[in-house]
Amino acid sequence: MDTAANTFPRLLLAHAKQQPDAPAVREKDLGIWQTWSWTQAATEVREIACGLASLGFEAGHNLAIVGANRPHLYFAVIAAQCLRGVPVPLYQDAVASEMVFMLDDAAVEFVVVEDQEQVDKLLECRDLQMQAGQARIRHIVYDDPRGLRNYDQPGLLSYEQLREIGRTWDAAHPGVFDASVAAGQPGDVGVILYTSGTTGRPKGVCQTHASFIAAGHGGVATDKLGPGDNIMSYLPMAWVGDHLFSVAQWLVGGFTLNCPESAETVMNDMREIGPSYYFGPPRTFEGLLTAVSIRMEDAAAPKRWMYAKLMALAQRVGADILNGVPVSFGDRVMYALGNLLVYGPLRNVLGMSRIRVAYTAGAAIGPDLFRFYRSIGVNLKQFYGQTETCAYVCLQQDGKVKLQTVGTAAPGMELKIADNGEVLVRGVSVLKEYYKRPDATAEVLDADGYFHTGDAGVLDHEGHLRIIDRAKDVGTLAGGALFAPNYIENKLKFFPQIKEAVCFGHGRDDVCAFVNIDYEAVGNWAERRGLAYGGYVDLAGKADVLQLVKDCIEKVNADLAAEEGMAQTQIARFLVLHKELDPDDDELTRTRKVRRGFIADKYAVLVDALYAGKAEQFIETQVKFEDGRTGKVSATLRIVEAKRFAAVRAAA
């Protein structure tokens, strides 16, 4: 790659010159894969940039981007950067009242959206701004014109219209686009990504071209990525992980980006493309495992028996085989048979038959879930980082994967553990600043340039980092035992019947838990047993379901009893919540992270009931529906005692 290609637009143009006809992007539309070469992608980006310039977009302006993973939206990201503007991807499932905060905070006047749903939301945001006397949104460009024929609100423009006026403007202003791209600097802010807001209002993280490109180079070099590799882009564009993989690594490595037809078709589309490179947060891998578990429960008895036997073998030796650790000849033969009968077909069902490397990040992944994928031959690894570090702090290298760690410091990064156990990082990927928040920037960047992650962790003798939990969440039980709720929650979420869990215990005598069942998995389980139910609330309260969850919790308790120093953190009591935790109800962030403090306050009556030894507790909760309406859901929840086990003493 040309060393002068030190901004995203220049990287794109370099690929258009070096591999002009190679596939840059694919999108499945109406069942057919459409392909853009690098030359076509560069041409379209130029047209969009010139179209934006014709509307008055210029250096220093921010361009909001809202929608699913679409080539045109990724082109808009680079188009804004061509003009030395800044793309601001926003979560497409955010409601207008949430989105308007970020639009106002970033002083956004120009927006590129996917479809009618997002147009309606942005028009609502503009109405909210007008009511507050500060309307800023001037232009809304939409990609998909369906349903928008009769819209005549000011500032609305189709993507194709923008390209057309861009071509006209470019012809009338020769050299302006090229001069703008040439003027871009590596130190320019390349993107503003908003934090998930687990502890308050989201903050805009300003990352430079240089920081994301350095992170891209580190990942590409570690896993030897390049032209010929394929990646499926399906996670929110506003998530830092997507910007790392689907923008930075894509433009550094020059591989092919594939956009699925819809969120519902991702697995089918993956099977068609056969990506060699894959990434996803733990919830994605949990969901895939749940889908497999449901299918196996519906299988005939002989298939279930064979699956159980061969998966037991895979759990025992599969990860060692993947890591190149010596395994007995007999086990290798049996594993090869298992690969033919179970593991290979299973990888194909998951769309991972050609996966060379897969990553997970965004939250801690349970070691049991991690082991499952590696045991069936998926080279799943962890990377670690935050929005403030381009999601780039640690990487796991092939042959050096440890289930309990997130790897060693990535190229160009330094790690340090503070006296209070907090992980501090310094290096190429650290944020430039929080947008218009010098006070917040000063709180997380110290005088030595270290970013304070807010995570508690330890480094082992080989330099591998183990994340314990968020530093603010780590505490102690009344008896003095270390309490890391996320570690226990991840063990619970390994079971396909459990979708979410929230554990409490800091300063208490015991650990107690809220549980969300997985409605699809438990519903399938109930139907096969002839157990009738009338929706989530009814199913969650069934005695048989409570027993099912109790069995899962007691298996986790047995595991904790066998781990050094963890026996005291076994779950004493639990309840199954009457509703699913939801970002629209502020219980989860848009990246599905638990807002632990908010939940503890919102459901304080349930927490008190768990620790008061009550047998049941009535609760009524307000919920928000997708159409913006609110309602209430109520139930009397049973509180269940779980069996705890004596600590297993290690052999002398």
User: Per-residue pLDDT tens for 149-186?
Assistant: 999 999 999 999 999 999 999 999 999 999 999 999 99
pLDDT at residue 2 above 80?
Answer: no
Q: What is the distance between the alpha carbons of residues 165 and 162, in angstroms, rounded to a whole number? A: 5
User: Distance between CA 338 and CA 358 in Å, rounded?
Assistant: 21
Phi, psi at residue 393, to the nearest 5°? -130, -50
> What average pLDDT does the segment 5-25 reach?
97
Tell me, what's the pLDDT at 652? Answer: 39
Query: CA separation (Å) from 553 to 371, 548, 576?
Result: 19, 9, 12
The two tokens of residue 63 are 């361009």
Q: Which of 594, 596, 590 is nearest to 239 (CA)?
A: 590
Question: Mean pLDDT throughout 364-378?
Answer: 83
Q: What percent of the chain has pLDDT over 90?
A: 71
Mean pLDDT of 537-565: 93
Mean pLDDT of the chain: 92
pLDDT at 349: 84
Average pLDDT over every residue of 76-84: 98
Confidence class of residue 200 from pLDDT cuts 50, 70 and 90? low
Q: Among 366, 602, 583, 592, which residue's Cα sits nearest to residue 469?
A: 366
Secondary structure class of 142 (helix, strand, coil): strand
CA distance 125 to 323: 51
Residues 324 and 338: their CA atoms lie apart, in Å, by 18
8 Å CB contact between 616 and 574: no
If residue 601 lies in a helix (H) or strand (E), which one and from where to where? Answer: helix 596-602
What are the angstrom distances between the C-alpha of 373 and each of 175, 276, 402, 403, 518? 52, 15, 13, 11, 20
604-617 mean pLDDT: 95
- The pLDDT assigned to 627 comes to 61
Q: Does the pLDDT value for residue 112 go beyond 80?
A: yes
Per-residue DSSP letters for 303-316?
HHHHHHHHHHHIII
Cβ atoms of residues 196 and 98 within 8 Å? no
Amino acid making up residue 493: K
Token digits of residue 131: 């009511």
- For residues 397-406, average pLDDT: 86
Q: For 95, list phi and psi in degrees, rounded to 5.
A: -80, 165
Give the pLDDT of residue 651: 44
Q: Once rounded to an integer, what is the mean pLDDT over residues 611-626?
A: 89
C-alpha 37/C-alpha 23 separation (Å) is 4
Name the token pair of 516. 């969300």
pTM: 0.83
Strands 380-384 and 357-360: parallel
Separation CA 557–CA 511 (nearest Å): 11
For 242, the 3-state DSSP assignment is helix
Which domains, ranges and CATH numbers included, belong to the chain? Answer: 8-279 (3.40.50.12780), 281-384 (no CATH), 475-641 (3.30.300.30)
Single-letter residue type at 167: R
**Gap between the Cα atoms of 624 and 620, Å rounded:** 13
Tens of pLDDT, residue by residue over 128-158, are: 999 988 888 999 999 999 999 999 999 999 9
Tokens coding 68: 């699913």
Q: Find tokens 């703008």 and name the residue.
A: 180
* H or E element in which residue 321 lies: helix 319-323
Helices (H), 132-186: 159-172, 176-183
Calpha distance 445→163 (Å, rounded): 41
**High-pLDDT (> 70) share of the chain, %:** 97
More confident residue, 595 or 292: 595
Report the residue count for the chain: 652
Q: Which residue has the higher pLDDT, 217 or 480?
A: 217
Q: What is the full DSSP assignment across 184-207?
A: --TTSEEEEEE---SSSS--EEEE
Instruction: Tell me: pLDDT of 479 over 50.
Output: yes
Average pLDDT estimate for 203-209 = 97
Q: Rg of the chain's alpha carbons, rounded to an integer? A: 25
CB atoms within 10 A of CB 612: 9
3-class DSSP state of 279: strand
Please tell me the least confidently modeled range out of 208-217, 298-307, 368-377, 643-652.
643-652
Where residue 5 falls among pLDDT bands split at 50, 70, 90?
Answer: confident
Write the CB contacts of 323 (distance below 8 Å, at least 6 apart in sequence).
Answer: 399, 401
For residue 513, pLDDT over 90 is answered with: yes
Nearest alpha carbon to residue 194 among 388, 63, 361: 388
